[in-house]
């Protein structure tokens, strides 16, 4: 069987969960008997500029990995209109490779037209689409939050969507939805990594028999991960909490820092926070907000910046617990299962797909967007870990959901 994994970008350029999932599935398939796999990843011009007339690039050293140059894209309609460039090159690739299965991991960059080209060029191939987020439903970067204040959305309503994107019209939203639904009709199987995301698409009108729930595979090497030993520290040393995500408003770092500030103002000193994540794409106002909170916390927080995926096990070894304070629905956040595989407890916002993943992994929930609730859980963790270090046995005060 010939399988083609189609990713919105190379993980080396855009280190997100979607890109990592596509790469992991491809590399796992390379070792399977009777399987031939290829990864075709989009390469937008801001990742790597192609030469004149060049359609395909080889920017990685990975086996059977090819990049297709993307020069322009309509992010609102999720539409690739370059018939004579990108879509023709994609068609030529399909005709040459002749895959039995085409697994799309997003509608970005090849767009809804990419699925149509795949169906037309390979009419007998099985076409899959993993819905890694809510882009198909939500034109606001697939976040399903309101642009004005970050409030959560449960579905797309044209008049409400206009409040986020006033430059669009009702006709624009109707055409966007029509084009995306038409593309999804050409897919043999839609895959939802979380039940919560599946429910959102069912509410959007996707028939239940067309969408299955299947969690994302862990990256290569993580399935066999041996849990790390507890962090080597003195009994009286501070507990170290880790944050692992890009520093963006929807990832909720501000909630964590506000919770930490609340603890500090109560005289709690037995903790430190290590922030692992880049703020490269964060709005300037949000950077200023995080900087102001960090200044008030002083030595209690350290900004470690972005990290390579290969560094993650070592970084997890340096923390006692991981906090995931996202203020949007998430889907199947990989850090939850990676931290658990590494033997690190998770404190997670009880919200959407994040709550689902956290409960499955036996994490510690707190009320989403609620710094006071998170502070309470952090304090309980600090106190309970301290009594364990002292050899004292007592009934835990943590509210643990879904313990396995």
pLDDT in tens, 205-237: 999 999 999 999 888 888 888 999 999 888 789
**The pLDDT value given to residue 112:** 97
Amino acid 223: pLDDT: 84
Mean pLDDT score of the chain: 91
In whole angstroms, what is the distance from residue 235 CA to residue 52 CA?
62
pLDDT tier for residue 158 given thresholds of 50, 70 and 90: confident
Mean pLDDT of 118-146: 96
Tell me if residue 15 falls in helix, strand or coil.
coil
Strands 271-276 and 36-44 come out as unpaired
Which run of H or of E encompasses 113?
helix 111-121
Q: How far apart are the first and last CA of the chain?
A: 37
Give per-residue pLDDT as tens, 246-263.
999 999 999 999 999 999
Q: How far apart are CA 21 and CA 130, in angstroms?
A: 10
Find the Cα–Cα–Cα–Cα dihedral 317, 318, 322, 326, rounded to 10°.
Answer: -120
**Span 375-385, mean pLDDT?**
94
Q: What is the pTM of this model?
A: 0.90
* Residue the block writes with tokens 């501070």: 238
pLDDT of residue 176: 96
Average pLDDT over residues 7-16: 92
Question: Can you tell me which residue has the tokens 């390379």?
Answer: 30
169 CB-near residues (< 8 Å, 6+ apart): none
List CB contacts of 303: < 8 A, sequence separation 6 or more: 275, 294
327 pLDDT higher than 90: yes
Rounded-to-integer distance, Cα 253 and Cα 392, Å: 33
Decide if pLDDT at 289 tops 90.
yes
């Amino acid at each position: 069987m010939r399988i083609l994994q189609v990713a919105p970008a190379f993980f080396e350029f855009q280190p997100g969960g979607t890109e990592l999932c596509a790469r992991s599935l491809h590399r796992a398939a390379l070792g399977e008997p009777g399987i031939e796999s290829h990864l075709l990843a989009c390469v937008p011009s801001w990742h790597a500029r192609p030469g004149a007339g060049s359609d395909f690039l080889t920017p990685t050293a990975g086996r059977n990995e090819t990049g297709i140059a993307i020069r322009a894209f309509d992010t609102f309609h999720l539409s690739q209109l370059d018939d004579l460039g990108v879509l023709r090159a994609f068609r030529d690739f399909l005709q040459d490779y002749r895959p039995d299965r085409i697994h799309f991991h997003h509608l970005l960059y090849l767009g809804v037209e990419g699925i149509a080209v795949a169906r037309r060029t390979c009419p007998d191939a099985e076409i899959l689409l993993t819905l890694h987020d809510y882009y198909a439903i939500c034109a606001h970067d697939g976040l399903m939050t309101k642009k004005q204040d970050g409030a959560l959305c449960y579905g797309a309503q044209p008049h409400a969507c206009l409040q986020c994107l006033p430059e669009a019209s009702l006709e624009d939203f109707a055409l966007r939805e029509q084009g995306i639904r038409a593309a999804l009709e050409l897919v043999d199987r839609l895959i939802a990594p979380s039940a919560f995301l599946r429910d959102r698409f069912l509410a959007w009108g996707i028939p239940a028999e067309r969408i299955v729930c299947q969690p994302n595979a862990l990256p290569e090497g993580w399935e066999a991960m041996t849990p790390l030993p507890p962090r080597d520290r003195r009994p009286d040393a501070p507990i170290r909490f880790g944050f692992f995500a890009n520093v963006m408003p929807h990832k909720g770092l501000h909630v964590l820092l506000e919770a930490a500030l609340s603890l500090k103002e109560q005289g709690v000193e037995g903790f430190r926070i290590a922030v692992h994540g880049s703020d490269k794409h964060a709005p300037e106002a949000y950077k200023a907000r995080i900087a102001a909170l960090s200044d008030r916390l002083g030595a209690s927080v350290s900004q470690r910046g972005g990290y390579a995926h290969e560094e993650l096990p070592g970084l997890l070894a340096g923390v006692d617990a991981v906090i995931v304070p996202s203020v949007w629905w998430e889907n199947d956040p990989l850090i939850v299962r990676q931290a658990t595989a590494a033997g690190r407890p998770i404190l997670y916002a009880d919200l959407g797909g994040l709550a689902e993943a956290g409960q499955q992994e036996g994490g510690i929930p707190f009320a989403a967007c609620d710094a006071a609730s998170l502070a309470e859980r952090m304090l309980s963790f600090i106190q309970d870990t301290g009594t364990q270090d002292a050899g004292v046995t007592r009934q835990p005060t943590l509210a643990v959901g879904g313990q396995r």
